[in-house]
Structures are given as structure tokens and as C-alpha cells.
Amino acid sequence: MATRPTHRPARSGDLGAMIATPEPGTWPAGTRAAAAHSRPPTTAPAIEVAGLSKRFGPAFAVQDLSFTVSYGRITGFLGPNGAGKTTTLRALLGLIRPDAGTARIAGRRYTELADPVRTVGALLDAGAVHPGRTGRDHLRVLATAAGLPGHRADELLATVGLAHAARQRAGGYSLGMRQRLGLAAALLGDPRVLVLDEPANGLDPQGIRWLRDLLRSLAAEGRSVLVSSHVLAEVAQTVDDVVVISGGRSVAQAPLGQLLAGHGSSLEDIYLDLTGGPS
């Protein structure tokens, strides 16, 4: 799926000898100031899912699911395979129509957003790139379609540590490299809200640490990050809040520290107790 535009900080990370490591905190000049003045404040949550239900045939993928995601926070969206996470994210991004309930970003359904590219950036499928197109051309096409300047592509390739692979065809990228390219695409429009499905998939340990630093930087700037992940050890080091679903329903929602304190065990143990199975 095509991701939604933006851009922001970079830290360290390593995808191999061919990939350059961006300098810490080196966002293109003027980005923060432009973002601060271009988006009016809103009292609506960054993300609000209310009574969401979606049935495929006789079975519910999601049933009466509700949760909110705040600005300035990283929220982990957790659940076993088949729990309804991807269905929820697709409903949030207007890719499927729910049978009941609503899923809103900044107070509006995705289809009602006046400027979706600058409101929300998404990474749902790192493989959604033409294999014969270079990483740079992929981002330039997305930027042009969104009415964004072409130089965004080069800025963001540097941000995600892919500058040295900019002219390489995406078909030759590793999974971790495609993940980074997908993150760059999600950041093109400089959105206040990010929706990321398994963004650490394919990243090596250094890349995962780089991603953690990036997400924390985004949240520190007041952005909202909703991240679905099966890497529970990394989630425990990264997120502020947790939403756990199982069988299409919510089984836990709380700040991570409160959840851990209340159960007196690790996130993995709590997850297994709540869902009855592995991630």
C-alpha cells in the first residue's frame, strides 16, 4: 500500500556496508517551524476508534472495539495473528468500510480529511513498491502525487539511512531496506499522526535501535505514533501506552508503566495471560 507522506529526525542504524548512517537529529532546516505554524491545534484525540465492528462472512474480525491515541505518545497496538489489528488499521485509513462504529484521525474519518497526506502517514506494507523503480524515484512519484516538492525524497532518504541506495532499484533492497523506504514514504507529508504496522520487521538490532530513537523523537515533537508489533521486548522499551486486542475485542488499555506495575511481571507474560497465546 502507498504510505502517507512526512519527515523527521534520524539517529543511527546499519543495514550493511552500503548504507550510510544519518547524523543524529538532522532534520531538514525549517521543518519544525513549518509544521508548528501549518497545523491549527485541535482538541480531538490523534486517533479515536469507537465501537468499531467489521465482519468478513460469518465471522467478526473486529467487534465493538474502542480506544484512543494521544498526541506526544507512542502507543503499542498488540494482539495475536488474526486478532483484528490489520483490519482496524485498514478501517482507520479508509481502506475498508466498517459495519459499525467509527475510526477517526484528528477528529475526522480518513475520507473527510482536508489534507490527508499532511495529517497522517502510514506504513502497512513495505513491499508496496515497484521493483524496477529506484528508491529515490519511488519517493519522488509519491511526493509529486501529493503536491510536495521533489527534494523531499532526497531529504528523507538521508533521514532513514538510505542515501547511498537512493539510485538502486527497490527490487534489490533487503526487507529492512524496504521498511526504511516505507518509513520515508510515511514521513513525506510531515504528518502529526503515524500509523505503522510491524515497522521493525526485517531490521537488524542496530536498525531496531535506530527506529526506537526515531519514534521517540517524533513523539517528543508532539506527534502521535500508533505502532503494531510482535516484537514485545522492543515494544516494552519504546511505547508509552498499550492497547491489547484478542478475538477482535479489547482486552487491555493502559499506560505501559501502569500495566506493568499492576501485574508485577514482564510485558510478554502479561500479553500471554491476556491473549492466551504467543504474539
Q: Worst-scoring range by mean pLDDT, 25-39, 180-194, 211-225, 236-250? A: 25-39
In this structure, what C-alpha cell is assigned to residue 155? 531529504
> Residue 15 has what pLDDT?
26
Per-residue model confidence (pLDDT) at position 2: 43
Mean per-residue pLDDT, 244-272: 91
Residue with grid cell 500500500, as numbered in its chain: 1
Residue 25 pLDDT exceeds 70: no
Q: What is the pLDDT of residue 278?
A: 62
- Residue 82's CB is within 10 A of a number of other CB atoms, namely 13
Mean pLDDT, rounded, of the chain: 85
Q: Where are the alpha helices (DSSP H) in the chain?
A: 31-38, 85-92, 116-119, 135-145, 151-159, 175-186, 205-220, 232-238, 256-263, 267-275
Identify the pLDDT of residue 177: 93
Distance CA 56, CA 10 (A): 40
**Which SS3 state, helix, strand or coil, does residue 158 take?**
helix
Give 55-89 pLDDT, tens digit per residue. 999 999 999 999 999 999 999 999 999 999 999 99
Portion of the chain with pLDDT greater than 90, in percent: 73
For the stretch 145-179, pLDDT in tens is 999 998 999 999 999 999 999 999 999 999 999 99
* Least confident range of 100-114, 150-164, 189-203, 256-270: 256-270
**Is pLDDT above 80 for 21?**
no
| Per-residue pLDDT at 48 exceeds 80 | yes
Give 142 or 19, the one with higher predicted confidence. 142
What is the pLDDT at residue 4? 41
Q: What local confidence, expressed as pLDDT, does residue 264 receive?
A: 78
For the chain, list the domains and their CATH numbers: 31-275 (3.40.50.300)
Mention every residue, 6+ apart, whose C-beta is less than 8 A from residue 267.
232, 233, 235, 236, 242, 256, 259, 260
Higher pLDDT, 230 or 75: 75
Residue located via cell numbers 506504513: 123
Average pLDDT over residues 239-256: 95
This prediction's pTM? 0.82
The pLDDT, as a whole number, for residue 103 is 97
Please report which confidence band the pLDDT of residue 38 belongs to, taking 50, 70 and 90 as the band edges. very low
Residue 52 C-alpha cell reads as 468499531
Give, to the nearest 10 degrees, the angle between helix 267-275 and helix 256-263.
80
